[in-house]
Amino acid sequence: MAEKHYDLVIIGGGPAGYVAAVRAGQLGLKTACIERAKLGGVCLNWGCIPSKSLLANAELYEKVSKQADQWGLSFEKLGYDWSKIIGRSRDVAGKLNKGVGFLLKKNKVDHIDGHAKIVAGRSGDTPCRVEVYDAETREEITPSPTKVTKLREAVTADNVLVCTGAVARDLPFAKFDNETIIGAREAMTLPERPKKMVIVGAGAIGMEFAYFYHSFGTEITVVEMMPRILPVEDDDICAFLEKTYKKKGMDIRTSTTTTAVEKTKNGVKVTVAPFKDGKADESKKETIEADKVLLAIGVTGRFDGLFDDSLGLKTDRGAIVTDYKPGPPFQNQKLTYQTSVPGVYAVGDVIGAPWLAHVASEEAIIAVEQIAGHDPYPIDYSVIPGCTYCHPQVASVGYTERALKEQGLEKGKDYAVGSYTLNAHGKAIAVNANEGVIKIIRGLPRGEILGAHLCCENATELIGELGLARRLEATSEELIATIHAHPTMYEAVHEAALASEGRVIHA
């Protein structure tokens, strides 16, 4: 059978892959999207979307179980059906998964089910070549070697875009067993709520699951090696959230490392020790017993079995190497996302941090538009919003105060800070959500928004205004001059901007 030829073959159907495919279809490129598991990738099926369903359940249950009297409500008997909570989350993912398939079909994209292996890059007039295999391992999001069986077909393409995402990392002495030592996927589908859980890692994933399970009564211990939870966030925000959760009874151990994990007959024993100066203090180690341990220590790019060895494709520390370099400088860079193999590009989690779906989608669009001969506006990686959907929510954009100090900037000389707590904020009090803080950092003397950091109700929505302000190089004065509707939560942004100039009204 003759091999089918495409202008573009996209490998992976997640938030980078399917968005790339839709955009390619819009631009008239003959496109195929190869996905060995469910369309939508980890984000839609096992991450961003279904986890938000669980968190919405937790927030609702927390309101009615712990705040009912404040709302003037009472219940003879309040309970929950754990299977329905988990089932609703899976239903949400299922509905959206079908929607992705519709989008591909609508934009005339061929969906090929199977495991892709790139066997040749572009060379002169010879196109890239991709083989498609049946795969036994189809939906794993934790590290495991891909098992392929028979070769089903092969296709050629002028260009190939790799969008295969990332998988959770485990520990050398604690490998995922999907039962006792679990990752995010298993945490979303546990058939029973554990009585005790240890969560290793206090990043966004760790803290979201900590909030979810704690809300339903699980005894939670969070272990974080760094001196603060949500380590990438601003110190003041981290401290505020940690204080809030400790007040609610959550056991949070920062500056603490995990040194051993032992499976037992009834669950697991996790040994932890204080962590200082790059090493554990074994003399003060402690063992914590629990039903489950959730490893939330980060992710690594997934490309196992994707490239033929003869390609010599360059990778570095679990990421495919392109012309994108994580970290500063953050100026608008015109990137191609070209790998070391001609005709093969890569975007999203597989090329490194930040591991965010919205970044992956934007990189995918830019890569496709360049392949199609367009000149898209580049990404400004200093204006990437970060969101954590625990409650209260956390959101940020731009620089933390810690990062500015590391660059040698001085508070009062190079930048000013305005913080506004929601204790007396009208809308927050009205909806019983006045536990929060908004912090804005403005540059001196001009007043441009250098960073914004929120921990409050609807923080992940409120960050939009501040992201746009930073993108447009707006100043605190321009934020202040923008009339904010009353009563709203986003009036708090106005107050924080006022605070950065020393003229807050409602505090």
Segment holding 462, helix H or strand E? helix 459-471
**CA nearest 453: which of 471, 465, 440, 442?**
440
Location of structure tokens 């060995």: 36
Q: What would the DSSP string read from start to end of 141-196?
A: -SS----EEEEEEEEEEEEEEE---EEE--BTTB---SSSEE-HHHHHS-SS--SE
- Prior bond of 354 cis (ω within 30°): yes
Structure tokens at 439: 């912090």
Tell me which of 5, 486, 494, 506 is the catalytic residue.
Answer: 486
Burial of 69 (0-12, 13-18, 19+ CB in 10 A): exposed
Structure tokens at 411: 């508070």
Report the distance separating Cα 38 and Cα 50, nearest Å.
14
**CA nearest 407: which of 419, 395, 399?**
399
Distances (CA, A) of 414 to 59, 123, 443, 467: 40, 52, 6, 21
For β-strands 315-316 and 292-295, DSSP reports them as unpaired
- Measured from the Cβ of residue 431, the count of other Cβ atoms closer than 10 Å reads 12
Assess whether 486 carries a catalytic annotation: yes
Location of structure tokens 């995922």: 176
For β-strands 279-280 and 286-290, DSSP reports them as unpaired
Report the distance separating Cα 323 and Cα 346, nearest Å.
10
Task: Please name every residue paired with 148 in a beta bridge, in sequence order, or none if there are none.
Answer: 135
Q: What would the DSSP string read from start to end of 347-378?
A: -GGGG-S---HHHHHHHHHHHHHHHTT--PPP
Q: What are the φ and ψ backbone dihedral angles of 309, each rounded to 5 degrees? A: -55, -30
Q: What are the φ and ψ backbone dihedral angles of 390, each rounded to 5 degrees? A: -70, -175
Q: What would the DSSP string read from start to end of 22-53?
A: HHHHHTT--EEEEESS-TTHHHHHHSHHHHHH
With beta carbons less than 8 A apart as the criterion, state whether 6 and 160 touch.
no
Q: What would the DSSP string read from start to end of 180-243?
A: SEE-HHHHHS-SS--SEEEEE--SHHHHHHHHHHHHTT-EEEEE-SSSSSSTTS-HHHHHHHHH
Structure tokens at 35: 């996905």
With beta carbons less than 8 A apart as the criterion, state whether 427 and 487 touch.
yes
Q: Which residues are identified as catalytic?
A: 486
